[in-house]
A and B are shown apart, each in its own frame.
Chain A
Amino acid sequence: MQRISNIFKKQEPEKPVTKKFVEKKAESGMKEGKPVAEKIRAGHVHESGCTGCLVALADNYEGILKILDRYVDWVYDLTLADTRHIPKMDVALIEGSVCLQDKIAVEEVKKARENSAIVVAIGSCACTGNINRFDRGGQANQPQHESFVPLSDLIDVDVFVPCCPPTPEQLRNAVLMAYLLLKGTDDQKKLAGRYLQPLMNLAKSPFFSKASFNTLMQEVINQGLCMGCGSCAAACPVRAITMEYGKPQGERDLCINCGACFAQCPRGFFDHGLTEQYESIMELIQEVLK
């Protein structure tokens, strides 16, 4: 853990971690947590998604065992654990869109917000609606299930981890940074806050929860920002993007509205100062999982 202080020596002064997190942490009733004081309480809430996001988290293989050993008490997860009702948590990872016509789903997602200090929307169903943006009801046995929205339409979401599916590595990074934000030293809190900042910005963005290939066009190409790196084409999980004469062409009949192209694009968001420390941050992540 020594390394984190080194990271901050090189860093310019910057905004402190948002106040909201700190306040919420205080009121989240951590006293009832397990004796292992350093662990955070986290869980997985499943809405209208496919569990692929959870599988992606589990695809950290041995890494996930280490995370559960050392940093996280996994207190809620209908797929991997036995608890039936959403408890108080530090971090709720919520997967899936919410069906407005499904009372249980709407109540659950509100409850998850109420009970959690940090809400992380994992996967594009939760962040942008993804394929659920195409849903239009009419199907047995609940034809009235027609409107599916991303989480941020109903509750405040703190962090977005988009893509369909999200990657094991990005989920791991988000969980570890959330841990550092809550339990780390001051320097670690600062680093974690800075790391999570763009993912928090996505959660607050006026356009990102409505993302599709068009978002990449509107917010990068149309804004004169594209430099033709091809990250978007590599990112697209359905091969909807090809690079034509150095610029992205989106097959809109393939696009599933996941937002990964914009989120991965270096001209979507980019933090020069933080990225300069890539070596030490990657070493840090490796070290905490050793």
Chain B
Amino acid sequence: MVLGNYKTVVSARSTDKEILKGAQDGGIVTTLFAYALDEDIIDGAIVAAPSRSKPWRGHWDIWRAEPRVVTTRQELLASQKTGYNICPMVTPVKDAVRMHGLDRVGVVGVPCQIQGFRKAQLYPIAMRDVPDKLALVLGIFCMEVFPYQSIVQLVEDHLGKKIDSVKKMEVGKGKFTVRTERGETASIPLKDTHKYEQPGCHVCLDYVANLADISSGSVGSPDGWSTVFVRSKKGEQIWNEAMTAGMFETKPMDQVKPGLDIVKKLATEKITKNRKTLDSRATFGVGKGLRNPYLNL
């Protein structure tokens, strides 16, 4: 089951013009959070935001992602841009339910981070008051992410662009592409980026955030649209309400190109490759292996 449990999968796009303008793809996450804030489903959300640039680190830090607790639509919109580098989304979850005073928290993350959130719910070893406060868990498809320095080297060395001139970064169609403020685009084949990936991604067995309430990503849907898996009961309820409220326009997955098959193909590729990595880790040294964290695989 490379795509995990889900109730429905559709291709969708936000109907909110303001959100779409700044959106990476179909604006699913931002729209769902905006809707949930509006409808009082969540008190606030933890989102990835550009690090507040610190002058002493240089202004190029705007592409470095940092988790932030937001409680208003304005704050939410200000944090739409992200750049494929590691953003530790679980970090502020306890502060969110304590000093921020949130009783219902929306969270978003790539598959492994959603695993972290669900583990926090099922095994709340150090997560007092977190398990019952995650009101909306949104997942994002992910093949791998990069350390921030990898992004800098890809953009500035491989593509020859100053990182602070980049307006948009994209991974898709086998390429890593950036568009700069001067309207230029530059890209390199994804295979050239592999060596810069975060090593921990190579043992990840989830491509489409199987454990989220709702997960989404651009793969499988046309440009400007997102593929959306509605997974949990809670996810289904919120999704249906948002649909009724007209937050999204949707198309059935079997009527869009390239469709669900490509999602399945990429998911299978990722999981097969990473299972192999896990196997090879078991015999990595001479009569010695590396640790495998997974039980009952």
What is the interface residue range for chain B against chain A? 35 or more
CB distance from A272 to the nearest CB of B (A): 7
* 26 A-B contact pairs sorted by A residue (CB < 8 Å): A161-B125, A167-B128, A169-B127, A173-B123, A198-B123, A219-B291, A223-B290, A223-B291, A225-B293, A227-B112, A227-B200, A227-B204, A228-B198, A230-B92, A231-B116, A234-B93, A234-B120, A246-B88, A263-B123, A264-B120, A266-B112, A270-B119, A273-B296, A274-B122, A275-B211, A276-B211
Q: Is A134 engaged at the interface, CB distance under 8 Å to the other chain?
A: no
CB distance from B107 to the nearest CB of A (A): 11
CB distance from B123 to the nearest CB of A (A): 7
6 A-B pairs with the lowest CB-CB distances in the bound complex, closest first: A230-B88, A246-B86, A230-B91, A235-B126, A227-B200, A228-B86
* Extra contacts besides A230-B89, A267-B203 (6): CB < 8 Å: A14-B296, A173-B123, A233-B91, A234-B94, A234-B120, A245-B86
Q: Is A94 engaged at the interface, CB distance under 8 Å to the other chain?
A: no
| Contacts known (A166-B125, A271-B294); A226 close to B200, Cβ less than 8 A | yes
CB distance from B136 to the nearest CB of A (A): 14
Segment from A75-83, A98-106, A278-286 that makes contact with B: A278-286
Q: Which residue of A lies closest to B124 (CB)?
A: A169
What total of chain A residues lie within 8 Å of the partner, measured CB to CB?
Answer: 57
Is B115 a contact partner of A247 (Cβ separation < 8 A)?
no
Is A243 a contact partner of B120 (Cβ separation < 8 A)?
no
Within A159-173, which residues are at the interface with B (CB < 8 Å)?
161-163, 166-170, 173
Is B126 a contact partner of A278 (Cβ separation < 8 A)?
no
Q: With the chains together, A260 CA to B120 CA distance in Å?
A: 12
| Contacts known (A225-B200, A245-B148, A275-B115); A231 close to B293, Cβ less than 8 A | no
Partner of B125, one of A245, A260, A272, A278: A260
Q: With the chains together, A223 CA to B147 CA distance in Å?
A: 17
Q: Is the interface of B mostly helix, strand, loop or mixed?
A: loop
Contacts of B286 in A (CB 8 A): none
Q: Which residue of B lies closest to A218 (CB)?
A: B291
CB distance from B50 to the nearest CB of A (A): 14
Partner of B122, one of A220, A228, A245, A278: A278
Is A224 a contact partner of B290 (Cβ separation < 8 A)?
yes
Q: Which residue of A lies closest to B86 (CB)?
A: A246
Q: With the chains together, A161 CA to B293 CA distance in Å?
A: 18
Is B118 a contact partner of A264 (Cβ separation < 8 A)?
no
Contact with B along A237-274 (1 / 0, CB 8 A): 10000010111000000000000110111111111111
